[in-house]
Amino acid sequence: MTSDRLGVLPPRVVIAGTRSGAGKTTVATGLLAAFTRAGVHTAAAKVGPDYIDPGYHELATGRPSRNLDPWMCGEDAVLEVAARAATGCGLLVIEGVMGLFDGAADATPSSTADVAALLGAPVLLVVDAAGTGRSVAATVHGFATFDPRVRVGGVILNRVATESHERMLRDALAPTGVPVLGALRRDDRLHWPDRHLGLVPVIERRHELVRNLEALAAAITEQVDLGGVRELAAHASRFPVPDSGGEERSAGPSRPSRVRIAVATGRAFSFCYPDNLEVLQRAGAELLPFDPLADRSLPPSIDGLYAGGGFPEIYAAELAGNVELHAALRDGTRRGLVVWAECGGLLWLTRAIDGHPMAAVVEAEATMTPRPTLGYRTATTCMPTPFGPPGTELRGHEFHYSAVRPAGEALRMRGREGVTTGGFGNPRMLASYLHLHLAGHEHLATRFVETCRTGKLVTPTAGESPS
């Protein structure tokens, strides 16, 4: 069956790993490509906050992949986003995050297992078989029995060395009762290029990745039981999800007066959740993409700017050369342009990244660091921002190999490392390392758009929580 409206989920399967690096993205993207090439209308989603893997999903299917993150969005929003991801498709393939049971340190639902249980979806477990023999059975048995909410319905063996190695692994797994639905051989053609934040975004090396994807789709078709995977997906629980308005909500702005918001895009700023753009549109925004690497001016007559994350540090020299755009951005903020900048967007607004001059909207400098800062954050605004008055609560995620000095004082953030303060804010700007996913928090999009519309801080209405 297909998902004819937002409130219905089609057959679905979660691609999980025993750990990070087991091959989830390879298997999930390969399945998406193989099914799509076989004429199956297939959709994709990604558990957790990752921006890059969904780009590979979109390359395989030709349609956007969405992030399912119960920690940031709440469980009800995950159901809605999953249904929206699968609209019009007969199969939903969901790639997990880290190992199957890995999640947030505060035990808030966030793991792949949590999402699989929430969506009533069976799990296809990816096991890195390199250097493994009979012990693979203990691994699979443990994962299959650890959490009664989760049904591990099949195994994909990855990085299998030889035909005899595959036979040994299959024989070892037979007593577990978990079927082996595929065994992928070691193959350098299936390697994805990567760097410090993970895989290289598709937008940067699309032509090369298309070639890799063709080889991967062929390998998956040959070495995986696609019929068995579809049969497993068909055993997902059949239940409706909350219908949040469906295609009517996605059709466009619901308010008569449009607000023009420029959105940074291109190779340096490719991190943006599709749901964020859609909730801004539903709040009344007309979105105007521009590329800070190519465009010498901002889009005309804009009221606001959204600069998400990406890799401005990789393109720092090119960004530094765009002095016309930087001057236009400084002039815009002086004239009252409302700005929301996340992580890479924050770096772009500083005076410099490792000595390369940037827009100098924020009085700070950025430097790259050898170790990452990452994790979920519960944040409270310490000053007025376009999202509301001081005390507004935000739930987001950090992942960066950089530091900004001074760090700023806009947000007080709580995470597993304790409490930190950072970011820059005023009634017309929030620029910080915090990535927000606004599905489930559409009131924040409404406040941002209304601030762009009026130029004034939007305060909570009577009875509305400041968060």
State both tokens at 242: 């909350």
Q: Which residues are catalytic?
A: 343
CA separation for the pair 348, 34 (Å, rounded): 39
DSSP state at residue 3: B
Rounded distance between C-alpha atoms, residue 32 and residue 67, angstroms:
16
In the chain, ranges of CATH 3.40.50.300 domains: 12-234
Q: CA 214, CA 58: separation in Å to the nearest integer?
A: 14
Q: What is the pLDDT of residue 2?
A: 43
Distance from C-alpha of 37 to C-alpha of 216, rounded to nearest angstrom? 12
pLDDT below 50 — which residues of the chain?
1-5, 245-254, 462
3-state secondary structure at position 295: coil
Q: Is the dihedral of CA 277, 35, 121, 181 positive or negative?
A: negative
pLDDT of 210: 84
Distance CA 120, CA 98 (A): 20
* pLDDT for res 252: 44
The per-residue pLDDT for 27 is 97
For 252-454, which CATH class? alpha beta
Write the pLDDT tens digit of every residue in 274-295: 999 999 999 999 999 999 999 9
Instruction: Residue 403: name the closest of 336, 340, 350 by CA.
Output: 350
Q: Are 28 and 42 in contact (CB under 8 A)?
A: no
Of 328, 324, 359, the residue nearest 345 (C-alpha): 359
Does CATH number 3.40.50.300 belong to domain 12-234? yes
Using an 8 Å Cβ cutoff, are 100 and 60 in contact?
no
What pLDDT score was predicted for residue 1? 41
Domain(s) labelled CATH 3.40.50.880 in the chain stretch across 252-454
* End-to-end Cα separation, the chain, in angstroms: 39
Burial of 463 (0-12, 13-18, 19+ CB in 10 A): exposed
Q: What is the per-residue pLDDT for 464?
A: 53
